[in-house]
């Protein structure tokens, strides 16, 4: 295997970048729509900017349906994008299968949520890893090279001794071991960026941290850029350097993980953090912090609310929130901490009372 440990790179080098990334999934049109000439689409991802740097973990936090997995699939070029740009080392790339896709996949690899489904049950671990190595030309020339590369991969993900695992089938391994094989397979391509889509949420709680610690270790040794997608904001704090929060297809807040989790700025991030189970909060202190005007459900993405998509649920909503899309505003407490929320625009807050739209019950849905 070619050595990537000694690849000299500045720590902050940008590997993969998304700018204004947008994905709309078309909705099947009914007969009536054909006459009215309307085009419905699910606005799964709108205007997402994301930067993955070498040796850094970026967490993308959101609830189901927030579009976080779609972002990963767009970045892996598994879906064609509707708009925006994906830049690999500054070069705009758009691939759709074939040789180009393989070249792209050699540099950007994805790890899926469910290791029970992402490994083929009829093939051995050796087969899975050999295939990854051969496709991405990392298998070497001789069978001895291949064997060495296989041992190397399993050693890297701490499945030692490798001989014990190479000829096993996926069903003979536990969930954590299987996810390690899936990670080894991704490493077989010798990538620069790893896109991990909820890599631990299917695993038993006691072994989740083992896999996260492994990923962190790999990040440091191989200088990888990692996108960590999760719904668990506490694990983002633990594992990621930066955290970005998504709600209903849009990014609402970002910054370094410690700042975002300790002094959340956007009302949605606050709701998310208040809702996370917290053993230190014993009994009875529940009502005060469920400040959700809605019923805990995200809006329809076919007809997303106008303005800020969180405004129907936001306790701080102002009239402007119901009409104007909030821009990214610097919070100012720590460099790089931003939120897309009008609460941080002093002009708006001075002119309108925070919570005034919430009190008046103003909710605007986008016109069909």
Partner 1 sequence: MSEPVLEIRNLNVDYGLGEQAVHAVRDVNLTLHRGEVLGLAGESGSGKSTLAYGLTRLLAPPGVITGGEVVYHPEQGEAYDVLALSDRGLREFRWAETAIVFQGAMNSLNPVHKISTQLGDVLAAHEPTMSAHSRQARCREMLKLVGISPDRMDAYPHQLSGGMRQRVMIGMALILQPQVVIMDEPTTALDVVMQRQILGQLIELRERLGFSVIFITHDLSLLVEFSNRIAIMYGGRIVEEAPAASLYRDSLHPYSAGLLSSFPALRGPRRELTGIPGSPPDLKGMPSGCSFHPRCPKVFEPCAGNIPVLGRPTTPDGASRSVACWLHPVVESVG
Q: What is the CA radius of gyration of the chain?
A: 22
- Residue 245 Cβ vs partner 1, minimum distance, rounded to whole Å: 13
Give the span between the Cα atoms of 51 and 225, in whole angstroms.
10
Build a one-symbol-per-residue string for 36-75: x at contacts with partner 1 by CB under 8 A, - elsewhere: ---------------------------xx-----------
* DSSP string computed for 34-99: HHHT---EEEEEEEEEEEEETT-EEEEE--TTSSHHHHHHHHTTSS--SEEEEEETTEE----SHH
Q: Does 328 bind partner 1 (CB under 8 A)?
A: no
Give the span between the Cα atoms of 291 and 314, in whole angstroms.
8
Q: Does 265 bind partner 1 (CB under 8 A)?
A: no
Binding residue for partner 1 (CB under 8 A) from 22, 118, 263, 275?
275
Q: Does 209 bind partner 1 (CB under 8 A)?
A: yes
**Interface size with partner 1, residues (CB under 8 A):** 44
Q: Strands 14-26 and 83-88: what pairing?
A: antiparallel
CA torsion sign for 191, 192, 196, 200 is positive
Subset of residues 64 to 123 that bind partner 1, contact rule: CB under 8 A: 64
Give the span between the Cα atoms of 325 and 328, in whole angstroms.
10
Q: Which is nearer to partner 1, 81 or 208 (CB)?
A: 208
Binding residue for partner 1 (CB under 8 A) from 179, 261, 269, 348?
261
Give the burial string for 74-103 (b: 16+ CB within 10 Å, else e): bbbbebebbebebebeeeebebeeeeeeee
Q: Does 208 bind partner 1 (CB under 8 A)?
A: yes
Give the span between the Cα atoms of 212 and 195, in whole angstroms.
13
Kindly report the length of the chain: 368
Build a one-symbol-per-residue string for 150-179: x at contacts with partner 1 by CB under 8 A, - elsewhere: ------------------------xxxx--
Q: Does 283 bind partner 1 (CB under 8 A)?
A: yes
Binding residue for partner 1 (CB under 8 A) from 13, 145, 292, 330?
292
Residues 115, 179 contacting (CB under 8 angstroms): yes
SS3 state at 243: strand
Q: Does 302 bind partner 1 (CB under 8 A)?
A: no
- Residue 24 Cβ vs partner 1, minimum distance, rounded to whole Å: 22
Q: Which stretch in 20-28, 68-76, 88-96, 288-296 sits in contact with partner 1 by CB under 8 A?
A: 288-296
Whose tokens are 């299987």? That residue is: 178
Q: Which stretch in 29-37, 119-127, 277-285, 328-336 sits in contact with partner 1 by CB under 8 A?
A: 277-285
* DSSP string computed for 198-245: STTTTS-HHHHHHHHHHHHHHHHHHT-EEEEEES-HHHHHHH-SEEEE
Build a one-symbol-per-residue string for 221-260: x at contacts with partner 1 by CB under 8 A, - elsewhere: ----------x-xxx-xxx------------------x--
Binding residue for partner 1 (CB under 8 A) from 28, 91, 287, 346?
287
Q: Which stretch in 32-40, 70-78, 85-93, 268-276 sits in contact with partner 1 by CB under 8 A?
A: 268-276
> Which residues lie near partner 1 (CB under 8 A)?
63-64, 174-177, 204-210, 213, 231, 233-235, 237-239, 258, 261-262, 271-283, 286-287, 290, 292, 295-297
């Amino acid at each position: 295997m070619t050595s990537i440990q000694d690849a000299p790179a500045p720590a902050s080098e940008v590997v993969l970048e998304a700018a204004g990334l947008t994905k709309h999934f078309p909705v099947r049109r009914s007969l009536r729509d054909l006459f009215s000439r309307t085009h419905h689409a699910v606005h799964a991802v709108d205007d997402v900017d994301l930067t993955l740097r070498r040796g850094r973990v970026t967490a993308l936090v959101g609830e189901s349906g927030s579009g976080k997995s779609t972002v990963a699939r767009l970045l892996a070029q598994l879906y064609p994008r509707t708009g925006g740009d994906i830049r690999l080392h500054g070069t705009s790339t758009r691939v759709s299968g074939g040789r180009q896709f393989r070249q792209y996949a050699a540099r950007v690899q994805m790890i899926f949520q469910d290791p029970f489904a992402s490994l083929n049950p009829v093939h051995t671990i050796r087969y899975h890893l050999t295939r990854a190595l051969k496709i991405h030309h990392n298998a070497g020339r001789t069978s001895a090279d291949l064997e060495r590369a296989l041992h190397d991969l399993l050693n890297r993900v701490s499945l030692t001794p490798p001989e014990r695992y190479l000829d096993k089938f996926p069903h003979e391994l536990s969930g954590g071991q299987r996810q390690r094989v899936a990670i080894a397979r991704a490493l077989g391509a010798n990538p620069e960026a790893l896109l991990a889509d909820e890599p631990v949420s299917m695993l038993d709680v006691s072994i989740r941290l083992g896999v996260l610690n492994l990923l962190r270790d790999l990040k440091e040794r191989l200088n990888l850029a990692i996108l960590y997608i999760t719904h668990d904001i506490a694990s983002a704090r633990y594992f990621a350097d930066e955290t970005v929060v998504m709600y209903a297809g849009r990014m609402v807040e970002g910054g370094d993980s410690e700042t975002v989790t300790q002094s959340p700025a956007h009302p949605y991030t606050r709701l998310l953090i208040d809702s996370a189970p917290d053993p230190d909060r014993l009994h009875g202190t529940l009502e005060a912090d469920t400040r959700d005007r809605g019923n805990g459900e995200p809006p329809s993405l076919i007809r997303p609310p106008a303005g800020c998509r969180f405004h129907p649920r936001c306790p701080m909503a102002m009239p402007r929130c119901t009409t104007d899309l909030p821009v990214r505003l610097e919070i100012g407490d720590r460099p790089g901490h931003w939120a897309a929320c009008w609460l941080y625009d002093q002009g708006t807050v001075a002119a309108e009372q925070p919570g005034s739209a919430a009190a008046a019950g103003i909710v605007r849905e986008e016109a069909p």
